[in-house]
Amino acid sequence: MNFYPLAKKALFSLDPEKAHDLSLKSLRTLEGLSALSALTPVMEEKPVECMGLTFPNPVGLAAGMDKEGNTIDAFGRLGFGFVEVGTLTPLPQAGNPAPRMFRLPEHDALINRMGFNNPGIEEGVENIRKSKDFSGLIGLNIGKNKVTPNEEATSDYLKCLKTGYNSADYIAVNLSSPNTPGLRDLQNEDETKKLVNALRIEQAKLALEYGKHVPIALKVAPDLDDEHIQGLAKVFLEEGLEGLIATNTTISRTAVKGHKYGEEAGGLSGAPVTEKSTEVIAKFYSALGEKVPIIGVGGIMNGQDAADKVKAGAKLVQLYSGFVYRGPDLIKECIQSL
Ligand SMILES: Cc1cc2nc3c(=O)[nH]c(=O)nc-3n(C[C@H](O)[C@H](O)[C@H](O)COP(=O)(O)O)c2cc1C
Protein backbone atom coordinates (compact mmCIF):
# COMPACT_ATOMS: atom_id res chain seq x y z
CA MET A 1 0.00 0.00 0.00
CA ASN A 2 1.39 3.43 -0.89
CA PHE A 3 0.61 5.59 2.13
CA TYR A 4 3.16 8.28 1.27
CA PRO A 5 1.07 10.70 -0.87
CA LEU A 6 -1.29 11.23 2.06
CA ALA A 7 1.52 11.50 4.63
CA LYS A 8 3.36 13.90 2.33
CA LYS A 9 0.36 16.19 2.05
CA ALA A 10 0.21 16.49 5.84
CA LEU A 11 3.99 16.82 6.23
CA PHE A 12 4.36 19.45 3.50
CA SER A 13 1.79 21.61 5.32
CA LEU A 14 4.28 21.87 8.20
CA ASP A 15 7.56 23.76 8.52
CA PRO A 16 10.22 21.51 6.86
CA GLU A 17 12.28 20.90 9.99
CA LYS A 18 9.17 20.16 12.08
CA ALA A 19 8.00 17.77 9.35
CA HIS A 20 11.41 16.05 9.45
CA ASP A 21 11.33 15.65 13.24
CA LEU A 22 7.73 14.42 13.19
CA SER A 23 8.47 11.91 10.41
CA LEU A 24 11.37 10.37 12.31
CA LYS A 25 9.39 10.25 15.52
CA SER A 26 6.44 8.59 13.76
CA LEU A 27 8.73 6.07 12.09
CA ARG A 28 10.24 5.15 15.47
CA THR A 29 6.79 4.76 17.01
CA LEU A 30 5.52 2.59 14.15
CA GLU A 31 8.69 0.51 14.28
CA GLY A 32 8.27 0.11 18.06
CA LEU A 33 4.73 -1.16 17.49
CA SER A 34 5.98 -3.55 14.78
CA ALA A 35 3.53 -1.76 12.47
CA LEU A 36 5.96 -0.59 9.79
CA SER A 37 6.38 -3.93 8.10
CA ALA A 38 2.63 -4.05 7.43
CA LEU A 39 2.83 -0.71 5.63
CA THR A 40 6.03 -1.10 3.68
CA PRO A 41 7.80 -3.58 1.42
CA VAL A 42 10.39 -5.93 2.89
CA MET A 43 14.03 -5.16 2.14
CA GLU A 44 14.86 -6.29 -1.36
CA GLU A 45 17.99 -8.37 -1.61
CA LYS A 46 20.34 -7.41 -4.42
CA PRO A 47 23.78 -7.82 -2.84
CA VAL A 48 26.64 -5.57 -3.91
CA GLU A 49 30.30 -5.85 -2.90
CA CYS A 50 31.87 -2.49 -2.12
CA MET A 51 34.81 -1.40 0.08
CA GLY A 52 35.27 -5.06 1.06
CA LEU A 53 31.74 -5.21 2.47
CA THR A 54 28.59 -6.92 1.22
CA PHE A 55 25.67 -4.48 1.02
CA PRO A 56 22.30 -6.33 0.93
CA ASN A 57 21.10 -3.89 -1.73
CA PRO A 58 22.74 -0.86 -3.36
CA VAL A 59 20.36 1.86 -2.11
CA GLY A 60 21.19 3.72 1.10
CA LEU A 61 19.92 6.62 3.15
CA ALA A 62 22.25 9.62 2.77
CA ALA A 63 23.73 11.41 5.77
CA GLY A 64 21.76 14.14 7.48
CA MET A 65 18.37 12.39 7.68
CA ASP A 66 19.18 10.19 10.70
CA LYS A 67 21.74 12.54 12.21
CA GLU A 68 21.39 11.00 15.67
CA GLY A 69 21.35 7.35 14.62
CA ASN A 70 18.17 6.64 16.53
CA THR A 71 15.92 5.65 13.60
CA ILE A 72 18.10 3.05 11.83
CA ASP A 73 15.77 0.08 12.33
CA ALA A 74 12.80 1.99 10.92
CA PHE A 75 14.72 3.17 7.85
CA GLY A 76 15.87 -0.42 7.34
CA ARG A 77 12.26 -1.53 7.48
CA LEU A 78 11.45 0.89 4.66
CA GLY A 79 13.92 -1.02 2.47
CA PHE A 80 17.27 0.78 2.64
CA GLY A 81 20.26 -1.56 2.30
CA PHE A 82 22.42 0.84 4.31
CA VAL A 83 21.98 3.89 6.48
CA GLU A 84 24.60 6.61 6.92
CA VAL A 85 24.21 8.13 10.37
CA GLY A 86 25.40 11.67 11.17
CA THR A 87 27.13 13.96 10.60
CA LEU A 88 28.35 13.54 14.18
CA THR A 89 30.97 15.82 15.73
CA PRO A 90 33.08 15.32 18.89
CA LEU A 91 30.98 17.72 20.98
CA PRO A 92 27.19 18.09 20.83
CA GLN A 93 26.24 21.08 18.73
CA ALA A 94 22.98 23.07 18.27
CA GLY A 95 23.60 24.04 14.64
CA ASN A 96 22.45 27.27 13.02
CA PRO A 97 19.38 29.26 14.11
CA ALA A 98 16.05 28.27 12.53
CA PRO A 99 14.66 28.56 9.93
CA ARG A 100 17.45 26.53 8.36
CA MET A 101 15.67 24.13 5.99
CA PHE A 102 13.57 25.21 3.00
CA ARG A 103 11.43 23.36 0.45
CA LEU A 104 11.43 24.42 -3.18
CA PRO A 105 8.74 22.06 -4.53
CA GLU A 106 8.65 23.80 -7.91
CA HIS A 107 12.20 22.49 -8.37
CA ASP A 108 11.93 19.21 -6.41
CA ALA A 109 14.66 20.71 -4.25
CA LEU A 110 15.67 21.59 -0.70
CA ILE A 111 18.03 24.19 0.71
CA ASN A 112 19.51 23.57 4.14
CA ARG A 113 21.96 25.26 6.43
CA MET A 114 21.49 23.00 9.45
CA GLY A 115 25.14 23.38 10.51
CA PHE A 116 25.77 19.90 11.96
CA ASN A 117 23.11 19.98 14.69
CA ASN A 118 23.86 16.71 16.49
CA PRO A 119 24.07 15.14 19.96
CA GLY A 120 27.82 14.49 19.73
CA ILE A 121 29.67 11.34 18.68
CA GLU A 122 29.32 9.57 22.02
CA GLU A 123 25.52 9.74 22.15
CA GLY A 124 25.31 8.99 18.42
CA VAL A 125 27.37 5.84 18.84
CA GLU A 126 25.28 4.76 21.83
CA ASN A 127 22.20 5.14 19.64
CA ILE A 128 23.77 3.05 16.88
CA ARG A 129 24.48 0.29 19.39
CA LYS A 130 20.80 0.19 20.31
CA SER A 131 19.80 -0.65 16.74
CA LYS A 132 18.76 -4.29 16.86
CA ASP A 133 16.69 -5.22 13.83
CA PHE A 134 18.62 -3.76 10.92
CA SER A 135 20.06 -6.32 8.54
CA GLY A 136 21.77 -3.69 6.36
CA LEU A 137 25.06 -1.88 6.90
CA ILE A 138 25.68 1.26 8.95
CA GLY A 139 27.89 4.12 7.82
CA LEU A 140 29.06 6.66 10.36
CA ASN A 141 29.50 10.14 8.93
CA ILE A 142 31.90 12.29 10.96
CA GLY A 143 32.73 16.00 10.98
CA LYS A 144 34.38 18.72 13.02
CA ASN A 145 32.81 21.07 15.51
CA LYS A 146 32.20 24.65 14.41
CA VAL A 147 34.40 25.97 17.25
CA THR A 148 37.37 23.85 16.15
CA PRO A 149 39.74 25.81 13.90
CA ASN A 150 40.75 24.06 10.67
CA GLU A 151 44.34 23.66 11.94
CA GLU A 152 42.95 21.35 14.64
CA ALA A 153 40.35 19.62 12.47
CA THR A 154 42.37 16.38 12.28
CA SER A 155 42.03 15.85 16.01
CA ASP A 156 38.22 16.17 15.76
CA TYR A 157 38.07 13.56 12.98
CA LEU A 158 40.45 11.26 14.88
CA LYS A 159 38.32 11.52 18.02
CA CYS A 160 35.20 10.58 16.03
CA LEU A 161 37.02 7.75 14.24
CA LYS A 162 38.22 6.25 17.53
CA THR A 163 34.85 6.58 19.25
CA GLY A 164 32.82 5.21 16.35
CA TYR A 165 35.18 2.66 14.80
CA ASN A 166 33.82 -0.44 16.48
CA SER A 167 30.16 0.47 15.94
CA ALA A 168 30.10 1.18 12.21
CA ASP A 169 30.56 -0.82 9.02
CA TYR A 170 32.24 2.12 7.29
CA ILE A 171 33.29 5.64 8.23
CA ALA A 172 32.38 8.61 6.01
CA VAL A 173 34.60 11.65 6.45
CA ASN A 174 32.57 14.74 5.62
CA LEU A 175 34.67 17.53 4.15
CA SER A 176 31.93 18.99 2.06
CA SER A 177 29.14 20.56 4.10
CA PRO A 178 28.82 24.20 3.06
CA ASN A 179 27.33 25.04 6.47
CA THR A 180 30.40 24.84 8.70
CA PRO A 181 32.54 27.87 7.91
CA GLY A 182 35.82 26.83 6.27
CA LEU A 183 35.03 23.09 6.20
CA ARG A 184 35.31 22.84 2.42
CA ASP A 185 38.84 24.28 2.63
CA LEU A 186 39.80 20.83 3.95
CA GLN A 187 39.18 19.60 0.39
CA ASN A 188 42.30 21.47 -0.61
CA GLU A 189 44.70 18.74 -1.79
CA ASP A 190 47.40 19.27 0.86
CA GLU A 191 44.88 19.42 3.69
CA THR A 192 43.05 16.34 2.42
CA LYS A 193 46.31 14.42 2.11
CA LYS A 194 47.34 15.23 5.68
CA LEU A 195 43.93 14.33 7.04
CA VAL A 196 43.53 11.05 5.14
CA ASN A 197 47.07 10.06 6.07
CA ALA A 198 46.40 10.61 9.78
CA LEU A 199 43.11 8.75 9.60
CA ARG A 200 44.68 5.78 7.78
CA ILE A 201 47.41 5.47 10.44
CA GLU A 202 44.82 5.51 13.23
CA GLN A 203 42.61 3.08 11.31
CA ALA A 204 45.49 0.55 11.17
CA LYS A 205 45.89 0.80 14.97
CA LEU A 206 42.16 0.41 15.54
CA ALA A 207 42.03 -2.58 13.19
CA LEU A 208 44.58 -4.35 15.40
CA GLU A 209 42.82 -3.33 18.59
CA TYR A 210 39.36 -4.50 17.48
CA GLY A 211 40.39 -7.29 15.11
CA LYS A 212 38.33 -5.86 12.26
CA HIS A 213 38.93 -3.51 9.38
CA VAL A 214 36.45 -0.65 8.96
CA PRO A 215 36.89 1.15 5.61
CA ILE A 216 37.10 4.93 5.34
CA ALA A 217 35.31 6.92 2.63
CA LEU A 218 35.47 10.65 1.95
CA LYS A 219 32.44 12.78 1.05
CA VAL A 220 33.04 15.58 -1.44
CA ALA A 221 31.14 18.58 -2.77
CA PRO A 222 29.78 18.86 -6.30
CA ASP A 223 31.38 22.30 -6.62
CA LEU A 224 34.82 21.09 -7.75
CA ASP A 225 36.46 22.06 -11.03
CA ASP A 226 38.30 19.55 -13.23
CA GLU A 227 41.76 20.44 -11.96
CA HIS A 228 40.63 20.03 -8.36
CA ILE A 229 39.05 16.65 -9.14
CA GLN A 230 42.29 15.43 -10.78
CA GLY A 231 44.33 16.68 -7.81
CA LEU A 232 42.09 15.02 -5.26
CA ALA A 233 41.96 11.76 -7.23
CA LYS A 234 45.77 11.67 -7.14
CA VAL A 235 45.74 12.15 -3.36
CA PHE A 236 43.12 9.39 -2.93
CA LEU A 237 45.24 6.93 -4.91
CA GLU A 238 48.44 7.88 -3.07
CA GLU A 239 46.80 7.52 0.34
CA GLY A 240 44.84 4.35 -0.47
CA LEU A 241 41.45 5.86 0.21
CA GLU A 242 38.82 3.10 0.28
CA GLY A 243 35.68 4.89 -0.84
CA LEU A 244 34.39 8.17 -2.22
CA ILE A 245 30.93 9.59 -1.58
CA ALA A 246 29.95 12.02 -4.33
CA THR A 247 28.28 14.40 -3.76
CA ASN A 248 27.08 16.67 -1.02
CA THR A 249 24.81 19.70 -1.67
CA THR A 250 25.78 22.53 -4.02
CA ILE A 251 26.33 26.21 -3.27
CA SER A 252 25.31 27.08 -6.85
CA ARG A 253 21.91 28.78 -7.19
CA THR A 254 21.65 29.04 -10.99
CA ALA A 255 18.90 26.41 -11.21
CA VAL A 256 16.63 28.07 -8.64
CA LYS A 257 17.15 31.72 -9.57
CA GLY A 258 14.04 33.80 -8.89
CA HIS A 259 12.51 31.33 -6.40
CA LYS A 260 11.43 32.94 -3.13
CA TYR A 261 13.97 30.79 -1.25
CA GLY A 262 16.49 30.78 -4.09
CA GLU A 263 18.90 33.09 -2.31
CA GLU A 264 18.75 31.37 1.11
CA ALA A 265 22.24 30.52 2.33
CA GLY A 266 23.17 26.83 2.59
CA GLY A 267 23.37 23.79 0.34
CA LEU A 268 20.95 23.08 -2.48
CA SER A 269 19.91 19.46 -3.05
CA GLY A 270 17.42 17.47 -5.11
CA ALA A 271 16.71 17.73 -8.84
CA PRO A 272 18.93 20.80 -9.45
CA VAL A 273 22.03 18.81 -8.41
CA THR A 274 21.28 15.57 -10.32
CA GLU A 275 23.36 16.23 -13.41
CA LYS A 276 26.20 18.04 -11.68
CA SER A 277 26.69 15.25 -9.19
CA THR A 278 26.59 12.58 -11.92
CA GLU A 279 29.23 14.55 -13.85
CA VAL A 280 31.48 14.70 -10.79
CA ILE A 281 31.08 10.93 -10.32
CA ALA A 282 32.01 10.30 -13.97
CA LYS A 283 35.11 12.50 -13.68
CA PHE A 284 36.30 10.84 -10.49
CA TYR A 285 35.60 7.42 -11.99
CA SER A 286 37.70 8.16 -15.05
CA ALA A 287 40.59 9.15 -12.76
CA LEU A 288 40.18 6.41 -10.14
CA GLY A 289 38.82 3.48 -12.13
CA GLU A 290 37.94 0.56 -9.88
CA LYS A 291 40.60 1.43 -7.30
CA VAL A 292 38.36 3.66 -5.16
CA PRO A 293 34.68 2.65 -5.25
CA ILE A 294 32.18 5.50 -5.51
CA ILE A 295 28.90 5.94 -3.67
CA GLY A 296 26.71 8.17 -5.84
CA VAL A 297 24.40 10.71 -4.23
CA GLY A 298 22.80 13.94 -5.36
CA GLY A 299 19.41 14.49 -6.93
CA ILE A 300 18.30 10.89 -7.37
CA MET A 301 14.59 11.51 -7.91
CA ASN A 302 13.72 8.32 -9.83
CA GLY A 303 15.11 4.95 -10.87
CA GLN A 304 16.67 6.37 -14.03
CA ASP A 305 18.70 8.91 -12.00
CA ALA A 306 20.04 6.03 -9.87
CA ALA A 307 20.91 4.01 -13.00
CA ASP A 308 22.68 7.07 -14.46
CA LYS A 309 24.86 7.35 -11.34
CA VAL A 310 25.82 3.67 -11.65
CA LYS A 311 26.50 4.10 -15.35
CA ALA A 312 28.79 7.02 -14.47
CA GLY A 313 30.78 4.72 -12.18
CA ALA A 314 29.00 4.50 -8.81
CA LYS A 315 28.76 1.11 -7.07
CA LEU A 316 26.08 2.18 -4.59
CA VAL A 317 23.68 5.11 -4.36
CA GLN A 318 22.13 7.17 -1.57
CA LEU A 319 18.89 9.15 -1.32
CA TYR A 320 17.89 12.21 0.64
CA SER A 321 15.79 14.87 -1.17
CA GLY A 322 14.22 12.35 -3.55
CA PHE A 323 13.10 10.36 -0.52
CA VAL A 324 11.47 13.49 0.93
CA TYR A 325 9.58 14.12 -2.33
CA ARG A 326 8.79 10.54 -3.32
CA GLY A 327 8.78 8.49 -0.09
CA PRO A 328 9.70 4.81 0.34
CA ASP A 329 8.53 3.83 -3.17
CA LEU A 330 11.66 5.49 -4.51
CA ILE A 331 13.87 2.95 -2.69
CA LYS A 332 12.21 0.05 -4.47
CA GLU A 333 12.21 1.84 -7.81
CA CYS A 334 15.96 2.51 -7.53
CA ILE A 335 16.80 -1.06 -6.48
CA GLN A 336 14.84 -2.38 -9.45
CA SER A 337 16.49 0.04 -11.88
CA LEU A 338 20.00 -1.13 -10.95
C1 LIG B 1 18.42 18.79 5.42
C2 LIG B 1 19.69 18.14 4.96
C3 LIG B 1 20.68 17.85 5.89
C4 LIG B 1 21.87 17.25 5.49
N5 LIG B 1 22.83 16.95 6.42
C6 LIG B 1 23.97 16.33 6.03
C7 LIG B 1 24.95 15.96 6.99
O8 LIG B 1 24.78 16.16 8.19
N9 LIG B 1 26.09 15.37 6.54
C10 LIG B 1 26.29 15.09 5.21
O11 LIG B 1 27.34 14.53 4.86
N12 LIG B 1 25.37 15.41 4.29
C13 LIG B 1 24.23 16.02 4.67
N14 LIG B 1 23.28 16.35 3.73
C15 LIG B 1 23.59 16.07 2.29
C16 LIG B 1 22.96 14.77 1.79
O17 LIG B 1 23.48 13.66 2.47
C18 LIG B 1 23.21 14.61 0.28
O19 LIG B 1 24.59 14.47 0.06
C20 LIG B 1 22.72 15.79 -0.54
O21 LIG B 1 21.49 16.29 -0.03
C22 LIG B 1 22.53 15.44 -2.02
O23 LIG B 1 21.60 14.39 -2.16
P24 LIG B 1 20.03 14.63 -2.50
O25 LIG B 1 19.98 15.54 -3.68
O26 LIG B 1 19.48 13.26 -2.74
O27 LIG B 1 19.43 15.28 -1.30
C28 LIG B 1 22.08 16.95 4.12
C29 LIG B 1 21.08 17.25 3.18
C30 LIG B 1 19.89 17.82 3.59
C31 LIG B 1 18.84 18.14 2.56
Q: Is 226 exposed, middle or buried (0-12, 13-18, 19+ CB in 10 A)?
A: exposed
Please tell me the distance from the alpha carbon of residue 102 to that of residue 17, in angstroms, as a whole number: 8
Contact 270, 322 (CB under 8 A): yes
Does the beta carbon of 124 sit less than 6 angstroms from any atom of ligand 1? no
Please tell me the distance from the alpha carbon of residue 314 to that of residue 58, in angstroms, as a whole number: 10
In this prediction, residue 51 carries a pLDDT of 97
Does the beta carbon of 274 sit less than 6 angstroms from any atom of ligand 1? no
In this prediction, residue 8 carries a pLDDT of 92
CA of 319 to the centre of ligand 1 (A): 9
CA of 205 to the centre of ligand 1 (A): 30
Does the beta carbon of 321 sit less than 6 angstroms from any atom of ligand 1? yes
Q: Active-site residue among 177, 269, 277, 321?
A: 177
Half-sphere exposure for 38 (CA within 13 Å, toward CB): 6
Per-residue pLDDT at 81 exceeds 90: yes
Contact 276, 255 (CB under 8 A): no
CATH topology of domain 4-337: TIM Barrel (3.20.20)
In this prediction, residue 41 carries a pLDDT of 63
Per-residue confidence band for 89, with pLDDT thresholds at 50, 70 and 90: very high
In this prediction, residue 184 carries a pLDDT of 78
Instruction: Please state the rounded mean pLDDT for residues 126-146.
Output: 95
Does the beta carbon of 101 sit less than 6 angstroms from any atom of ligand 1? yes
The domain locations on the chain are 4-337
Per-residue pLDDT at 34 exceeds 90: no
Task: Write out the DSSP string of 283-321.
Answer: HHHHHHTTSS-EEEES---SHHHHHHHHHHTEEEEEESH
CA of 296 to the centre of ligand 1 (A): 12
- The closest-lying atom of ligand 1 relative to the alpha carbon of residue 110 is 31
Half-sphere exposure for 176 (CA within 13 Å, toward CB): 26
Per-residue pLDDT at 40 exceeds 70: no
- The closest-lying atom of ligand 1 relative to the alpha carbon of residue 321 is 27
Per-residue pLDDT tens digits for 204-240: 999 999 999 999 999 999 999 999 999 999 999 999 9
Per-residue pLDDT at 87 exceeds 90: yes
CA of 66 to the centre of ligand 1 (A): 10
- The closest-lying atom of ligand 1 relative to the alpha carbon of residue 271 is 25
Provide, rounded to the nearest whole percent, the portion of the chain with pLDDT above 90. 84
Active site (annotated) includes residue 176: no
Does the beta carbon of 62 sit less than 6 angstroms from any atom of ligand 1? yes
In this prediction, residue 93 carries a pLDDT of 97
Considering only CA atoms, which residue is closest to atom 7 of ligand 1?
A: 64
Please tell me the distance from the alpha carbon of residue 116 to that of residue 144, in angstroms, as a whole number: 9
Classify 126 in phi/psi space as left (phi over 0), alpha (psi -120 to 50) or beta.
alpha
Does the beta carbon of 64 sit less than 6 angstroms from any atom of ligand 1? yes
The better pLDDT of the pair 181, 13 is held by 13
- Single pTM value for the model: 0.96
Per-residue pLDDT tens digits for 285-326: 999 999 999 999 999 999 999 999 999 999 999 999 999 999
